[in-house]
Amino acid sequence: MEECYSLPSCARHKPCFFPFERDGQPWRKAGIGRRRHWTALHPTATYVRWCRACANLAAAGVSAGDAVLLVSPNGIEFPIAQLAIQLLPATCVAASPFLSPDELVHVMRVGMARWAVVDESVLGVIEKVTTMLPNTLREIWVIGSSSKSHPSFYSLMKTERWAAWPPQVENSSFNPAREVALMQFSSGTTGLTKGVMLSHRNLLTLYMQVKCFVEDVDNKKKASGEPDSEADILSRVLLFIPLHHNYATVTFNFVVTVGGCCVMMKTFSPHSFFNALQKYKITYAPIVPHIANFLLHTPLLKEYDITSLKSLISASAPLPPSTKQALTTRMGCAMRQGYGLTETCAGVATTIPHVYSKMGSVGRVMPYLEVKIVAPESSKGLPPGRRGRCG
């Protein structure tokens, strides 16, 4: 059975449940799963772990402006590590756990990483990288079983070290508009992956964008009599999109903003996907077009109860209108479509059924963004009502 983790939002004001299961057994690696199948934790406990991890990173020598490599499949440790790094404030260099040693060397050089938090599944690859770039990483914290040669990331979440807290609060030179909080890598269209530098202001703008968008959509839904608010739709979100990808970053921000619960899958597999939909009563799931095509034809759909699902959203590549319409009918839920870029730090546009919806469109432009429509042949700006392309 694939691993699924459920991470509640800090926006909640009541205890939330974390399922920790691995191969049908309670998952105890993090030292959090103390009860048989479920562990009830207040979201404040999650926030404390972020703060502890941040304080211990500072005590270990990680300073504001340092770059910390984060390489891990989806799991609750990823957002805790990312937010702890950014809280320092250091730069989180997020990379895919499926990169080759040569590709990780490129990422480390571009990101100028001097520290690393890595999952045990990629430790061997990281150690090979350190032989290719000797004396680069000062320390490696390992997510998973304790390594004899490297400290455990879980120790950062457990140890009280508040003498190092809060770090660099009096640093008057800190500029949120210029300091890089997150570096994600975009494949682009040519050559090696490109590092996209997202500032603290970029990420704050993403939060404000989501907040304004949710409020606007909810107001329009009330006016039209739609029963489900965005909080209802995003109450339980299944996320198999890799957390190092901006698509997952945007989704996670939506979940946190409305106080939802995020159920994470390490990787996509058909049975695990449907099992998670049924077991955790998922209400919302981000997908990509090739998964949409799979859902359109799989016979597994008849074997599971997915009536809790209120909406899907497809992004990362165009989804044909015929596929969108057929999937809406087959899945029995609403279907959204989005368009975004790593470079914009967020979604650029999205559709919302009965609010912003037009077949063949990716929807209206999100708040805090401007889109320029230009002539395809000249890149000259066009007036309203003219057909062109995004410039």
Looking at the fold, whether 128 and 232 belong to one and the same domain comes out as no
Q: Which residues of 5-24 are buried (b: 16+ CB within 10 A; e: fewer)?
A: bbbbbbebeeebebbbbeee
Is the pLDDT at 196 greater than 90? The verdict is yes
Specify if 338 maps to a domain. Answer: yes
Looking at the fold, whether 16 and 116 belong to one and the same domain comes out as yes
Looking at the fold, whether 158 and 211 belong to one and the same domain comes out as no
Q: Which residues contact 350 (CB under 8 A, 6 or more apart)?
A: 313, 336, 337, 338, 339, 356, 362, 363, 364, 366
pTM (whole model) above 0.75: yes
What CA–CA distance (Å, rounded) separates 287 from 292? 7
Is residue 7 very low, low, confident or very high in pLDDT (cuts 50, 70, 90)? Answer: very low
The answer to which of 136-140, 154-158, 303-307 has the lowest mean pLDDT is: 154-158
3-state DSSP assignment of residue 131: helix
Specify if 180 maps to a domain. Answer: no
Q: What is the arithmetic mean of pLDDT over 300-320? A: 94
Looking at the fold, whether 14 and 160 belong to one and the same domain comes out as yes
Is residue 172 very low, low, confident or very high in pLDDT (cuts 50, 70, 90)? Answer: low
Looking at the fold, whether 326 and 247 belong to one and the same domain comes out as yes
Which one-letter amino acid corresponds to residue 253? N
Number of domains observed in the structure of the chain? 2
The answer to which of 13-17, 106-110, 375-379 has the lowest mean pLDDT is: 13-17
State residue 124's pLDDT score. Answer: 94
Specify the residue for token string 């009330």: 222
10 Å CB burial of residue 297 (0-12, 13-18, 19+) is exposed
Q: What is the arithmetic mean of pLDDT over 362-366? A: 87
The model's pLDDT over 210-219, given as tens digits with 9 standing for 90+, comes to 889 999 999 9
The model's pLDDT over 52-68, given as tens digits with 9 standing for 90+, comes to 899 899 999 999 899 99
Specify if 100 maps to a domain. Answer: yes
Specify if 163 maps to a domain. Answer: yes
Specify if 361 maps to a domain. Answer: yes
Looking at the fold, whether 379 and 252 belong to one and the same domain comes out as yes
Looking at the fold, whether 163 and 212 belong to one and the same domain comes out as no
Looking at the fold, whether 121 and 216 belong to one and the same domain comes out as no
State residue 384's pLDDT score. Answer: 85
Looking at the fold, whether 291 and 347 belong to one and the same domain comes out as yes
Q: What mean pLDDT, rounded, does the chain reach? A: 83
The model's pLDDT over 67-76, given as tens digits with 9 standing for 90+, comes to 999 999 998 8
Do residues 19 and 7 make contact, with C-beta atoms less than 8 angstroms apart?
no
Looking at the fold, whether 162 and 218 belong to one and the same domain comes out as no
Provide the residue range defining the domain that includes 345. 201-390
The count of other CB atoms within 10 Å of the CB of residue 201 is 15
Closest by CA position to 51, among listed 22, 100, 91, 10: 10
State residue 186's pLDDT score. Answer: 85
Looking at the fold, whether 241 and 347 belong to one and the same domain comes out as yes
Looking at the fold, whether 219 and 305 belong to one and the same domain comes out as yes
Specify if 184 maps to a domain. Answer: no
197 versus 21: the higher-pLDDT residue is: 197
Q: What is the arithmetic mean of pLDDT over 235-257? A: 91
Order of all β-strands in the sheet with 194-199? 139-143, 115-119, 67-71, 91-95, 180-186, 194-199
Q: What is the arithmetic mean of pLDDT over 229-256? A: 92
Is the pLDDT at 253 greater than 90? The verdict is no
Specify if 324 maps to a domain. Answer: yes
Instruction: Report the CATH number that the domain containing residue 30 is assigned in CATH.
Output: 3.40.50.12780
Specify if 187 maps to a domain. Answer: no
State residue 162's pLDDT score. Answer: 54
